[in-house]
Chains A and B, each alone.
Chain A
């Protein structure tokens, strides 16, 4: 059902796309459609596939940044009483490491897959609101810049190009250094400088990006499915996208408001969390974790979705218990809102609350376990093929389970009192984050990159990536369980010898370099894939879902003709199923309508940069910071207004339909 040639019909012309006369928008500006300039084309794109690729590229960059930060941390901890970096720098590094990995690496990596895959998996031409989608991407870029702005200042200072003056002078404090969950009261302006403000405003902007993207995905999945793609026929990855998007729109408001309150405390002198004025620091903890626990499922559910696609493809069996996998995903999402206080067992919640949160946390392990059994059930009796995606997916199941076990261990409040704030917790969440999420994402990259760029992997580097990451992560994080139980606290700049921590720490550090080498090889392998001469073809893995039915890479319009779906694993059924399960095609002889590209999403969201920086610097007393913030707001509002006025526009395509 794919097509090779594309004929554009325009009342006047009938030539190829680049020759189409650019249209004028409703405000009389030339629309940046079919630009021959690559930069203009990508900066103004509204194509979900290009947006997905940009999310992915940026996220991989931040994965490297966060990884580098982690390596410096581990190097500092390699031996006792090390003084490679100062304590303050150490605080900056673990804060930015956590913030970067969660908000700038894993979330956007997930977003890359959402963007690229969801419209393809449901047989749509794009997301429901292509321009809002572009806005989300660029707002993410703006937020990332604001969060990291302190590093830029620090670098400028190191080269003698900048020196701090005013209230923050001498504090050397433009980089956030209060931990990724920013507990009050250390975020008060008495204790931390401009770094905290960059962090607040940056996260706020990233929140806007995530929430707006999520609205888009929910509407897309609910409303834009091709005929026959019933909800219970959606690929599991799309289901998980839906659930995660719902989690985002309901969980992010708690932190948005908490961040706004904190910002008011710092800039306008309110007393939400400042103890002197009656504020209660514990309130921050509640608001943060009401967001924070759903957030860990926001991170992991897409990974579960990826694995639920990869395992059936390479076991050549349908997913075992599809309905139960979907349902337990929903239960996890729902329960995720009811367990936040398990991060606060040691704060003295009271017996009843502690018991309740403890029980609910244990309960959430049930749907998680159910999923694992379903994955094992999928493998059972399958004709397993050990290609790279499968290897990483199996790695996920195994490693994620390890993280789940330690999770259940600290769902028990008395046990957690020992583990809280120790390296045991670090071990727990790195098993779920790296062993779970990252391995699944790598599996997803190996699985879908050929679809995304049309080229096939070459060589056997993937085996080394697999060995090094899995071995490296175990060497790094398994000893941390012991370190935690031996009492080593997390967020320690250095330690004395004689507690029995030396060997474990050294082993962890060696492991982290092995892991880092594995990630580096992954990037090399990705670059090799881009340069590969082997065409991927539509369906290199003999896969099951709709995205494999179209060309690799898919054309702008995704499907020459909208498919009509008659089965759950639509493409598999089309290939091997009975006649009444094969796909049909919607008659679209009148042509396809494509949305126009636009500068406005980019302009509007880049208003966030002066807005965020200005608000941050206002607290530090930098002159004209307030005006900068107002300027940013004006750009934002103007961008949105012009966006509304310019109209969606659009042009028609007539894909040649000859083949099926």
Chain B
């Protein structure tokens, strides 16, 4: 009997693998992290409506573009998960490269955006807006960066034919869960931090 089979996946009460359950729990906890960050931002925004006018600074075009890119990366992520399930390693690797590429574009946009904002005078110490904005979007950026790092290591790992559907589908699925979640969080941030500012 092979060791992998006898090890932790030998028996499960739920039909969910341990790793995936762990990721679900992490995401539940992560909701609270982002919830705290986003509510801090909104509380101060409501408290000091006049402190800062983000519409003068935000570029909806750029951010919509990067949002779109992130959404598309999620689409590719879904394709890589399904490729892995079918054991099509080549197609899996192709799609993962796409996800990584899009993730990097998103990060590039964020770096550009931050540099631009700082140049325009919005720094970490600009009132409460600078503080809450950068910490929140920065934390999200770190999540994307960790995701990219994770996928890159998976890409390397899968090179020598190390990955097989029956063994590693759950790993890819777990990474996929993470990636989709980070994407969803961004959609929330994009809506309540960027879009809403332009409605009023």
Contacts and interface: CB of A to CB of B under 8 A. Distances in A.
A257 B39 CA distance: 11
A355 interface: no
A269 B124 contact: yes
Contacts of A128: 8, 18, 22
Given A223-B14, A253-B36, A260 B135 contact: yes
Contact of A271 (B13, B21, B35, B131): B131
Contact of B21 (A223, A260, A280): A223
Interface string A254-274: 101110110011001111100
Interface string A274-299: 00011110010001000000000000
B124 A264 contact: yes
Interface stretch (B43-51, B68-76, B87-95): B43-51
Interface in B4-37: 6-8, 10-14, 16, 18, 21-22, 25-26, 28-30, 32-33, 35-37
B6 A590 contact: yes
A563 B88 CA distance: 40
Given A253-B33, A277-B125, A595-B7, A223 B132 contact: no
Nearest to B33: A253
B196 interface: no
Contacts of B130: 270-271
Contact of B33 (A218, A257, A644, A650): A257
B112 to A, nearest CB: 21
Contacts, number: 120
A557 to B, nearest CB: 12
Contacts of A517: none
A349 interface: no
A272 B6 contact: no
B166 to A, nearest CB: 17
A228 to B, nearest CB: 11
A650 B135 contact: no
Among A252, A283, A593, A644, max chain B CB count under 10 A is at: A593
A641 B154 CA distance: 11
A224 interface: yes
B36 A257 contact: yes
A219 B18 contact: yes
B36 A272 contact: no
A4 to B, nearest CB: 24
A590 B40 CA distance: 55
B33 A278 contact: no
B56 interface: no
A589 to B, nearest CB: 11
Could you tell me the dominant secondary structure of chain B's interface residues?
Answer: helix
A153 interface: no
Interface of B: 1, 3, 6-8, 10-14, 16, 18, 21-22, 25-26, 28-30, 32-33, 35-37, 40, 43-44, 47-48, 51, 124-125, 127-128, 130-132, 134-135, 153
Contact of B25 (A218, A225, A227): A218
Given A261-B135, A272-B131, A641-B153, A224 B33 contact: no
Contacts of A278: 44, 48, 51, 127-128
Given A278-B48, A649-B3, 19 more contacts: A128-B22, A219-B21, A222-B14, A222-B21, A223-B16, A223-B21, A249-B32, A253-B29, A253-B32, A253-B35, A257-B33, A258-B36, A260-B135, A261-B40, A271-B125, A271-B131, A272-B128, A279-B128, A650-B7
A584 interface: no
A224 B11 contact: yes
B29 A211 contact: yes
A269 B22 contact: no
B131 A264 contact: yes
A250 interface: yes
8 contacts: A128-B8, A253-B32, A270-B124, A271-B125, A272-B40, A593-B6, A593-B7, A593-B10
Nearest to B25: A215
Contacts of B124: 264, 268-270
Among A222, A270, A590, max chain B CB count under 10 A is at: A270
Contact of B28 (A216, A222, A250, A591): A250
Contacts of B7: 593, 595, 648, 650
Given A222-B14, A648-B7, A249 B29 contact: yes
A250 B29 CA distance: 5
A650 B4 CA distance: 9
Say which size band chain A's interface belongs to. 35 or more
A271 B130 CA distance: 8
Given A278-B128, A648-B7, A287 B13 contact: no
B193 to A, nearest CB: 16
A227 B11 CA distance: 9
Contacts of B43: 283
A129 B22 contact: yes
Contacts of A129: 8, 18, 22
B18 A264 contact: no
Interface in A217-251: 218-219, 222-225, 227, 249-251
A269 B125 contact: yes
Interface string A108-146: 000000000000000000001100000000000000000
A219 B33 contact: no
B23 to A, nearest CB: 9
Among B12, B28, B29, B124, max chain A CB count under 10 A is at: B29
A421 B11 CA distance: 52
Among B18, B30, B37, B132, max chain A CB count under 10 A is at: B18
Among B6, B26, B36, B132, max chain A CB count under 10 A is at: B36
B19 to A, nearest CB: 8
A277 B16 contact: no
7 residue pairs, one from A and one from B, having the closest CB atoms: A270-B131, A253-B32, A593-B6, A257-B36, A249-B29, A269-B125, A253-B33
B38 to A, nearest CB: 10
Contacts of A261: 40, 131, 135
Contacts of B26: 215
Contacts of B14: 222-223
B40 to A, nearest CB: 7
Contacts of A222: 13-14, 21
Nearest to A254: B36
B101 to A, nearest CB: 22
